[in-house]
Structure 1
Amino acid sequence: MLDTIQNFFDRMVSQPEAANDAELTLELATAALLCEIVRADGKIDDSEQTALTQMLQRRFSLDDADVSELVQLAQQEVEESVDHYQFVRLINDRYDYQRKIALVQRMWQLAYADGELDPLEEARVRKLAELLHVEHNDFINAKLRAWEVLGLD
């Protein structure tokens, strides 16, 4: 199944207008950006991996096996990609502004999942928010909402 998803993702990135199932591509692009946050500090701990899995399950209504495959594919895409353009472009093309803000909030939640914010994680969230054209005040508000959701002070 991973090969099928991989082939589909490759087609979608090169010809997004030709694809019938844009939602799968958005799932992959979103998962790839979230994986970028998890690996930003060079270490992936269990709390971050669990937070990522739960986040993707809730967001896309996927079962454990599908989330596992999605995360594996997203991590592979992130490792093989030169930059974030392919993922960001798909999200910019298909997400409205409010969905982009919600994505940035999820990025913050992942950055804080292990109980600390590494400067590399913060820089990655900031960079991706800029690429998604999220205004600075919404970037900060998303960070504050993530704190509230996680119960941080």
Structure 2
Amino acid sequence: MLKRILDLFNQPETDNQAPISPDLAAAALLVEVMAADDAWQRTEEDAIRKAILGSLDVSETDCDDLLAAAKSQHQDAHDYYGLTRQINDHFSPEKKYELILDMWKVAWADGELDRYEDNTIRKVAELIYVPHDLFIKAKLEAKPA
């Protein structure tokens, strides 16, 4: 019995999911910020739509599809590593900064910054190798006046 349990831990991990697109990964990370405080608000979803349309350069129809897929990805997500791997593989440093800026805009969209939103963005910034000074710059740039 113990041997079977140990064998489960020693088996190589297989990934049954198809790889996701970099755009879907970015949208899913934006949804993660919205969901971090357990309060999905319309203003945050609007900020995600604006980010998708502006930063990811997709049409209105594709934006709705991408947002729906990102919400689905959120429910299936176990960690950020698969998402951030796509970002690291396909985004330039400038595009990564823009993603962090968009994440801050989503976090501030409801008028207040929750500590869980802050922690989510901080974790993603570290995983996609955005330097701390740019992380802070994006936070201040996104903060409403």
Structure 1 residue 114 displacement after superposition: 0.6
Structure 1 residue 12 displacement after superposition: 3.0
Aligned residue for 2:65?
A: 69
Comparing both structures, which one devotes a greater share of its residues to helix? 1
Aligned residue for 2:8?
A: none
Unaligned runs of 5+ in 2: 1-16
Aligned residue for 1:16?
A: none
Q: What is the 5 A alignment of 1:103-122?
A: 103-122=99-118
The residue type paired with residue 19 of structure 2 is: M
The residue type paired with residue 96 of structure 1 is: S
1:35 to 31, 35, 50: 31
2:89 to 93, 105, 108: 93
Structure 1 residue 11 displacement after superposition: 3.2
| Aligned mates of 1:98, 1:64 — CA distance in 2 | 24
> What is the number of equivalent residue pairs in this alignment?
129
| Aligned mates of 2:18, 2:44 — CA distance in 1 | 30
The residue type paired with residue 129 of structure 1 is: A
| Aligned mates of 1:113, 1:76 — CA distance in 2 | 22
Structure 1 residue 75 displacement after superposition: 1.1
1:11 to 12, 18, 24: 18
TM-score by length of 1: 0.79
Structure 1 residue 58 displacement after superposition: 1.9
The residue type paired with residue 102 of structure 2 is: R
% same residue: 35
Aligned residue for 1:50?
A: 46
Deviations 1:124-148 (A, max 9, x none): 111111111111111001111112x
Unaligned runs of 5+ in 1: 1-9, 14-24
